[in-house]
Structure 1
Amino acid sequence: MEGRVEVRYHGVWGTVCDDDFAEPAATVICRSLGFGGPAQAKKDGFFGPGEGQIWLDQLHCVGNETGIAECLHSYWGEHNCKHNEDAAVICAPGDVRQSLNLQRADDLPRANYVTPVSNILPSECGKRNIDPLNLGDGPVARIVGGYEVPRGSYPWQASVRVRTGGKSVHWCGAAVVSPLHILTAGHCMQDYTKGAYFIRVGDHDTEEAEGTEQELNIDEIYLHEEFNKNMRLNNDIALVKVKGLGMQLGLHVMPACLPHHGVQYTPGLNCTISGWGSVKAAGAGYSRHLRATWIPLLPHETCKASFVYGTKAIGDGMFCAGLLEGGVDSCQGDSGGALVCLINGEFTLYGITSWGHGCGRPNKPGVYTNVGFYRDWIDHKLEDSMSGR
């Protein structure tokens, strides 16, 4: 059996939004229909959009419930969805009683097919149609008090925005890695519900519509399971999947490349950071226009030195970049944004802006999440995101 999921509430039939809809929920639905075999969760109106009422959103089941009434979900009728996001299931025959005895979601049957990472990430990445050596990126340029970059020169730059009272504000930076995915800092996705966030790409002037912007709602947020474990802002990384067909790639929206797992970063390598963060110091107003600069990677030993951050603050998944004399740095509002390095002619995402002490202070360079260190985790989450997990 297969088809779109519909539920009846107060005598009215309506659909279920696919936000948070995954295999455990599909298993509960199929089992309630008398099918105890492996269940597949389908999204994006897989069997066509419904009509009329949308009853449920953010349906989250463990998998051992006897019906979806026992699962967590938003209030009936409360949602931010359209019918092209209607959830669907594919059910298979099987012993319902045996299925119900599976107490842990990890033990539930899974679909055999997993979309490989090579089919998720685009074949072309890390390109821009502006000469990287002709941007005026001089050694005194900086995000803190720095300069505006040409429009379209950082096409992987994204903005995590928050809806507040009928408008939206820039919250954090992010990096485009596929038409459906961005990477950002884990701490950027902690303060609001998923429905409050959305992603904007192709932007330059945050206060003026320039015709290149795309705004996308969020389908799933994958926060590292050990975020903040053992030390502050440890494992500070999150993968975000957007809804629908994703971003339209082109001149103003292009993903950065991902580094290979465990790639060794070369101290002294000049890389570039960008964002709409504070232009003077922490607490100052955010920049209206996108800014960027180039900074060197620092040796891990320097980052962990007692006069910088010490050994207890810097984990294996972190690195420092910047000038020890200060002045050139990322700042508040730049968190989650990309640090990319030009590797073999491709801009490659080496770091995600994470934290620091102040902005541009001597001996307090920016601290970044090491993307190469987390490449295996990223790959697993990319696959999970395309499998409804």
Structure 2
Amino acid sequence: MRSNTVLCVALAVLLYLTGSFGQQDVCGQVSLNTKSIVEDAELIYDGIDATEGFWPWQVSINSIGSNEIVCGGSLINKDWVLTSASCLSFINNLDSSYFIIYLGRLKQFGPNTHEVNRTVSDFITHPNYTSSTSENDIALVQLSSSVDFTAYIKPVCLAAAGSEFDEGLLSWVTGWGSTSSGDFSEILQEAEIPIVSNYNCSFAYIDKRFKITDNMMCAGLSGGGKGYCNGDIGGPLVTKQNSRWIQSGIISLRCFSSLPSVFTRVSKYQDWINTQIVNNQPGFIKSPYYNNTPTSSIPDIPKVPDVPDIPDVPDIFSGSSPDLHLFPFYLTFTIISLIFCPFF
């Protein structure tokens, strides 16, 4: 009798844990950022100073010795940062303890009231990263200890496999990299830029003999313009969907002032990320978008009547839930509990 009771208790605990392994329902939620999907009819091509707390997933990867920024990244859960493999190529030749991660940072110099920092516990570059082609330019950095989420430090949601981003879709890129003056920025910069289709981006890069693959995406002006530059590598490209911000790209290729910016396409790497982060996996959201650039070719979307708020329930069947891989485990223990526990 006692052993069976213990079994039932254990099963109940397992059921609870199964539902808590995934990313908390906080990704991409920003209480301080009131930007709309389309900020202005006139796009912001040259970066402007960001407001503190607007991009709480933005991290700065700096060298401890000089305290200068090496590259950017984004917080994806309490223990991991997403960045580019080209960023970590600097670390491969050095000890990981040479680098420090700043979270909640706005200014590179002077005090940051809401800032915390961590050293690097581990880093993982994609095994098929090729520096000459920038293919599979993605990497993960494990923090030395977990961070607490605040209004100024929160994870971003990631674009799930199968996500699509139409040409012209307005997105935001952030970083402390080089400005038009050639110097790194002291204050975090933000710029709103449109998605460029891979077809048009490939045509723009034809003279550079650089291939835009399905694992990449582009944003900016088809003929060039301000986007990201040196020092921004590894940082996020994000788009707002309803109330959530979703990272669609990772800043990858070095900047060309006359060409669109090139990013690693995050949605192509959901499986790889989930195999590297076993516990508390990031929040993936599938993102089919309407092109949000004003145009008469976009059909009107019928207004949906207001309905009462209901609790969020993980959508395990759409592939957007980070706990999808745990569903069979959860179901098995649920059935066992229902069959045996009522008899004890």
TM-score higher than 0.5: yes
Q: Deviations over 1:84-104 (max 9, x none)?
A: xxxxxxxxxxxxxxxxxxxxx
> What amino acid does structure 2 have at the position aligned with 1:119?
F
Structure 2 CA distance for aligned equivalents of residues 134 and 350 of structure 1: 14
SS at match of 1:380: helix
Q: Is the 8 A contact 1:303 1:309 kept in 2?
A: no
- Evaluate the alpha carbon distance shift between residue 313 and residue 160 of structure 1 in structure 2; reply closer, same or farther with a 3 A threshold: same
Counterpart of 2:275?
Answer: 380
> What amino acid does structure 2 have at the position aligned with 1:256?
V
Deviation of 1:382 (Å): 0.9
Counterpart of 2:212?
Answer: 314
Q: Deviations over 1:232-285 (max 9, x none)?
A: 2110000111112x111111111110121131222221110000011116xx21
Q: Is the 8 A contact 1:139 1:294 kept in 2?
A: no
Deviation of 1:138 (Å): 6.8
1:208 to 110, 129, 139: 110
Count of residue pairs brought into register by the alignment: 261
2:41 paired with 1:141: no
Structure 2 CA distance for aligned equivalents of residues 135 and 150 of structure 1: 17
Structure 2 CA distance for aligned equivalents of residues 267 and 135 of structure 1: 14
Counterpart of 2:158?
Answer: 258
Deviation of 1:135 (Å): 11
1:160 to 58, 61, 70: 61
- Evaluate the alpha carbon distance shift between residue 233 and residue 274 of structure 1 in structure 2; reply closer, same or farther with a 3 A threshold: same
Structure 2 CA distance for aligned equivalents of residues 134 and 208 of structure 1: 32
> What amino acid does structure 1 have at the position aligned with 2:53?
G
Deviation of 1:358 (Å): 2.2
- Evaluate the alpha carbon distance shift between residue 306 and residue 153 of structure 1 in structure 2; reply closer, same or farther with a 3 A threshold: closer
SS at match of 1:195: helix
- Evaluate the alpha carbon distance shift between residue 384 and residue 347 of structure 1 in structure 2; reply closer, same or farther with a 3 A threshold: closer
Counterparts of residues 1-389 of structure 1 (less than 5 Å): 119-129=21-31, 130-133=33-36, 139-142=42-45, 144=46, 146-164=47-65, 167-192=66-91, 193=94, 194-228=96-130, 231-244=132-145, 246-280=146-180, 284-305=182-203, 308=206, 312-359=210-257, 361=258, 364-383=259-278
CA RMSD of superposed structures (Å): 2.6
Length-normalised TM-score, structure 2: 0.70
Larger RCO, structures 1/2 (Cα 8 Å, 6+ apart): 2
Q: Is the 8 A contact 1:271 1:340 kept in 2?
A: yes
Structure 2 CA distance for aligned equivalents of residues 278 and 121 of structure 1: 33
Structure 2 CA distance for aligned equivalents of residues 311 and 358 of structure 1: 14
**Which deviates more from structure 2 when the two are superposed, residues 167-176 or residues 116-125?**
116-125
Higher helix proportion, which one? 2
Structure 1 CA distance for aligned equivalents of residues 213 and 20 of structure 2: 29
Length-normalised TM-score, structure 1: 0.62
Deviation of 1:116 (Å): 7.8
Q: Is the 8 A contact 2:225 2:260 kept in 1?
A: no
- Listed as ranges, the gaps of 5+ residues in structure 2 are 1-16, 282-344
SS at match of 2:224: coil
Structure 2 CA distance for aligned equivalents of residues 134 and 234 of structure 1: 30
Deviation of 1:316 (Å): 2.0
Counterpart of 2:294?
Answer: none
Q: Is the 8 A contact 2:201 2:222 kept in 1?
A: no
- Listed as ranges, the gaps of 5+ residues in structure 1 are 1-114
Q: Is the 8 A contact 1:302 1:308 kept in 2?
A: no
Structure 2 CA distance for aligned equivalents of residues 327 and 366 of structure 1: 9
Deviation of 1:139 (Å): 3.4
SS at match of 1:325: coil
Deviation of 1:328 (Å): 2.5
Counterpart of 1:64?
Answer: none
**Which deviates more from structure 2 when the two are superposed, residues 320-329 or residues 290-299?**
320-329
Counterpart of 1:99?
Answer: none
Structure 2 CA distance for aligned equivalents of residues 134 and 372 of structure 1: 20
Percent identical pairs in the alignment equals 26
Counterpart of 2:293?
Answer: none
